Amino acid sequence: MLDSTAIRMQAQPARGLYESFYFRGTSPDGNHAFWLKHNMLRHRGGKDVRLEGALILLDRGANKTAVVYSQQTLDGERFERMSQIARDWEHVALELRDRSAVQIGRGYLAGHMAGEGGQARWDLQVQRSGLALEHFPHDAMYRLPWPSKKLVTRDCHVDFHGSVWAGDLAFSGSFHGMNGHNWGTAHAHTYAYANCAQFRGRENAYFDGFTARVQVAGGLVVTPRMSMGSLHTGGRWHHFNSLRRAARQPVQRLDDYGWRAELGNDTHVLEIDIDGGSPSSLPWVALHYDHPDGKRSVVKSTKFAWAKLRLMRRGGEVEDELFSDACELETLLPGNLPTGRGYVGTP
């Protein structure tokens, strides 16, 4: 079984690689959300590793966001010494030269940093569910070079209690969300990705899915849209991740602020309709992601998208319908280009 907490940056020291271990949570009333990202990046052909931290807060009522981002580059020798101490993402305790500090444990998250956007601090107690998701249908897809981006949901239902502060926003109390882990030699060429751990009246339901175009042959070829997803409802998983179906799943919408698709397997069809409104109606952030090959992309995200899922049997009978206004939606479109060298862009 895949080790979803292993630090992957150690595995391929001669190759460009990025890695992100992140948490997101939303308050029970759906008004406040946080996104805590722990990233590493090694450029292709280099030995140095860039450590990155970001805390993003979103306030629905004020339609306001705050982002604090910090980075520090370690030479290869120092990173190797550090990696001997921190071998997995659930046993991390770092104090860096810029006075930033990060702690990640099974039952807590803590840290502080200063950088672009001001200062940030977080102190959260964590209760995990143990429900995990491997998105790809074959273990080999996590071991082989293709696809270039690997992703796994480390825990689908995480309860947080404590406080988060970034820039001029601060929240405290309880939050519910998830813990994700992704890594790879390149970000996808195009994608819409969504997950949701808070459906109305459905305490244990969870959805995670995407439509993406990925580069092959060293970037010379881009695949058609490929879609996969998984829904946990009624105490069981419905997986829509067959490779032979992935490129044939209908996609009706994929733009900056919305995703609509239909996924099928042998027994069921899942209709997905996720609408993030616009930055004038909901808090959105635009972040500049660096790739291992030195390129940069704009990734847009909200934690307050509206989601409607309809699960139907192949005969047409509706088996389940789920609704949420606290769905994470993230999009990357290649036509959106970073306008500056900073981490934060314009939604």
Q: Which two tokens stand for residue 165?
A: 């502060």
Read off φ and ψ for residue 250, nearest 5 degrees.
Answer: -65, 135
What is the rounded CA–CA span in Å between residue 30 and residue 18?
Answer: 31
* Secondary structure (DSSP) of 113-144: EEEBTEEEEEEEEEEE----EE-SSSTHHHHS
Pairing of the two strands 226-233 and 17-26 = unpaired
Residue of 304, 345, 323, 259 whose CA lies nearest to 24: 304
What residues contact 299, with CB distance under 8 A and at least 6 apart?
Answer: 286, 287, 288, 289, 330, 331, 332
Q: For the purposes of burial, counting CB atoms within 10 Å of the CB of 119, is it exposed (0-12), middle (13-18) or buried (19 or more)?
A: middle
Q: For the chain, what is the radius of gyration of the CA atoms?
A: 19
Residue of 161, 102, 96 whose CA lies nearest to 127: 161
Span of 7-16, 35-44, 158-167 with lowest mean pLDDT: 7-16
- Per-residue pLDDT, 326: 97
Q: Sorting pLDDT into bands at 50, 70 and 90, what band is 34? A: very high
Residue 222 predicted with pLDDT over 70: yes
**What H or E segment, with its residue span, contains residue 13?**
none
Percent helix, strand and coil across the chain, each to the nearest 5: 5, 60, 35
Planar angle of CA 131, 39, 207, nearest 5 degrees = 30
Ordered by start, the domain boundaries in the chain are 14-332
What is the rounded CA–CA span in Å between residue 322 and residue 312?
Answer: 12
Cβ(291)–Cβ(186) below 8 Å: yes
What is the rounded CA–CA span in Å between residue 33 and residue 59?
Answer: 7
Cβ(127)–Cβ(155) below 8 Å: no
Q: Which two tokens stand for residue 153?
A: 């949901």
What is the rounded CA–CA span in Å between residue 227 and residue 332?
Answer: 15
Residue 12 predicted with pLDDT over 70: no
What is the rounded CA–CA span in Å between residue 71 and residue 297?
Answer: 18
pTM summary value: 0.96
Q: What is the pLDDT of residues 157-175, one digit of tens each?
A: 999 999 999 999 999 999 9
What type of residue is 20? Answer: S
Q: What is the pLDDT of residues 178-201, one digit of tens each?
A: 999 999 998 999 999 999 999 999
Residue 77 three-state SS: helix
Q: Which two tokens stand for residue 98?
A: 């810029």
